[in-house]
Amino acid sequence: MRLTNSLLAMTILALIICSITTATRSLAQANACIVDAEMVRLRFPRCALRMQNGHQFVPAKYIKQLDWNRYDLAWLGIEDDGWVYVNRAGKIVLRHIATMDNGADDFHHGIVRVLIAGKYGFIDSRGRVVVPAEYDSATNTEDTPPVVNRGCESQTKGEYTFCVGGKSFQVHRDGKLTPTKPR
């Protein structure tokens, strides 16, 4: 009788351990980092980033899907972190990129807009600050020189937001600002 009870206890214990192992495995799979191959550029999960020498990298297998600009940089959206630019090694080299047309802002005139704590500025392709992020709005298009604005009022028309009033300044390549008429 004792042998039967011991055998029964060991069988129950083995079943409990097996159940715990299966539940743990299922939980780990449920929390696995999933990268949607169709959405890499727009919504890359933070959990899929890799750390190397204190820097965050996008794994090489995802880099192949990106489009590269003339500075050898490509943008993507990091989930819960916003738009960034990465280099061909996958290293995140520029952060806080402002949004333009449902993606990261493009470089024009050698600079790109950044948005930090609700304020706009400009950086170059190496991450150097050209204009500090202390302005209420910033525009940068291929056809017109970049402009920053302070003291303007935000207005929305359709899906676009623009600034009215305030003081506007044209941005020069060296970061100098010249007063200009608001656009």
Residue 50 lies in a domain: no
Q: Give the count of alpha carbons within 13 A of 89, CB side only.
A: 9
Residue 182 lies in a domain: no
User: Domain range spanning residue 23?
Assistant: 1-32
Residue 120 lies in a domain: no
Q: Which of the four pLDDT bands, split at 50, 70 and 90, describes residue 10?
A: low
The pLDDT value given to residue 139: 92
What whole-number distance in Å separates Cα of residue 107 and Cα of residue 71?
A: 9
Residue 4 lies in a domain: yes
What whole-number distance in Å separates Cα of residue 168 and Cα of residue 147?
A: 7
The pLDDT value given to residue 49: 94
The predicted model scores a pTM of 0.78
Residue 28 lies in a domain: yes
Residue 19 lies in a domain: yes
Number of domains in the chain: 1
pLDDT, tens digit, for every residue of 84-95? 999 999 999 999
Residue 21 lies in a domain: yes
Q: Which of the four pLDDT bands, split at 50, 70 and 90, describes residue 23?
A: very low
pLDDT, tens digit, for every residue of 81-134? 899 999 999 999 999 999 988 889 999 999 999 999 999 999 999 999 999 999
pLDDT averaged over every residue in the chain: 85
Backbone angles phi, psi at 40, to 5 degrees: -50, -45
Share of the chain above pLDDT 90, in %: 55
Nearest to 106 by CA among 94, 92, 89: 94
Residue 134 lies in a domain: no
